[in-house]
Amino acid sequence: MTQPTSPQDDAELTRLLSAIYAGDTPGVAQILAQKPELARAASADGQTPLHAAAQCNDPTLGALLLAQGADAEAKFGASGHTALSWAVTCHAMEFARALVRLGVKPDLFCAAGIGSLEHVQACFDDAGKLVAGASRTGSSRFAADGTRLPCPPWSATEKISDALSIACRTGQTEVVRFLLTKQPDLSFRAYQGGTALHWAYFGGSREAIELLERAGADAAARDDVLHCTPRAFGICVAANSGFPNLVQQRLAEDPALVNFYDGQTTPLHAAARGGNLEVVRMLLDAGADPALRDADGKTALEVATEAGHVWVVEMLRGAEGG
């Protein structure tokens, strides 16, 4: 992987990344034909063109970049994410599976995330122990003081637990079932300080949720960011992060979630805090009550006002007035 070394290089990489985000395959091909080394370049924050294609879930661009020499093992800055693990965490499954078909070998974390039970099982020896080097990536995790934690985690148990969390997050039930036989730590904190059960509610697999609960997962545990219990976490993270399709799915599965309050927040508060206008509108249309208050005694309108989300404020003000 290389870094741009001149303003011209930086401008050309910016042009390439813009073409990738625009889905302009001919434009990407033209830029790479003129300067193929850009396939291995990285922006100041460590993003490579292959990571950008992963985020866009564009397997055609992924194949094009690999053919031009893109490094599939290059990490996205300090995050520790390869293009494959970035695709998994972005839920870009078409891209992720395409990379595997093109010969990129998934580690335990990535195999769990894409639901490749065969690759997951290959990470364990005949005695059922995790083989050396099985995990090369993992969740982005932070200590209470904001320090980034090792990625992948140090111990075998943590690596297995991290893989379990991503399998829950992406709804890979058979992988969840298998990893539960490997003595994971069900209290392990993965991305956003959520446990496997938190991420199972986010992923929406009822079977995975039931498997974890039968295994003893704590349904009262709270994540480290939104401080939600698992049932609230699934929809609140989707609302806060701006994933209307996931919010819609969670409401279809459990309509009572629209005004669910677990003693900390509601989905409407989470969407307001994130400034996600489409999600706020969706929740209000589904019957969210703008008068509800969170653990700090604030309405969603007050939360949006403090965060400076002007359009959300206007919508919530209209809802309260209505």
Closest CA to 9 of 55, 79, 25, 34: 34
Over residues 243-268, mean pLDDT: 95
Residues 110, 203: one domain?
Answer: yes
Q: Rounded to the nearest 5°, which phi and psi values hold at 70?
A: -60, 140
285-301 pLDDT tens trace: 999 999 999 999 999 99
Question: Is residue 6 pLDDT above 70, yes or no?
Answer: no
Residues 253, 220: one domain?
Answer: no
The CATH number for 24's domain is 1.25.40.20
Give the pLDDT of residue 293.
97
Q: Which domain holds residue 2?
A: 1-104
Residues 39, 83: one domain?
Answer: yes
Q: Provide the domain count of the chain.
A: 3
Residues 114, 67: one domain?
Answer: no
Residues 68, 156: one domain?
Answer: no
Residues 195, 166: one domain?
Answer: yes
What whole-number distance in Å separates Cα of residue 79 and Cα of residue 162?
A: 15
Residues 6+ apart with CB under 8 A from 298: 269, 306
171-183 pLDDT tens trace: 999 999 999 999 9
- How does residue 322 score in pLDDT terms, banded at 50, 70 and 90? low
First to last CA, the chain: 56
pTM of the model: 0.92
What whole-number distance in Å separates Cα of residue 262 and Cα of residue 257?
A: 10
Say if residues 198 and 233 touch (Cβ distance below 8 Å).
Answer: yes
- How does residue 101 score in pLDDT terms, banded at 50, 70 and 90? very high
130-172 pLDDT tens trace: 999 999 999 999 998 999 999 999 999 999 999 999 999 999 9
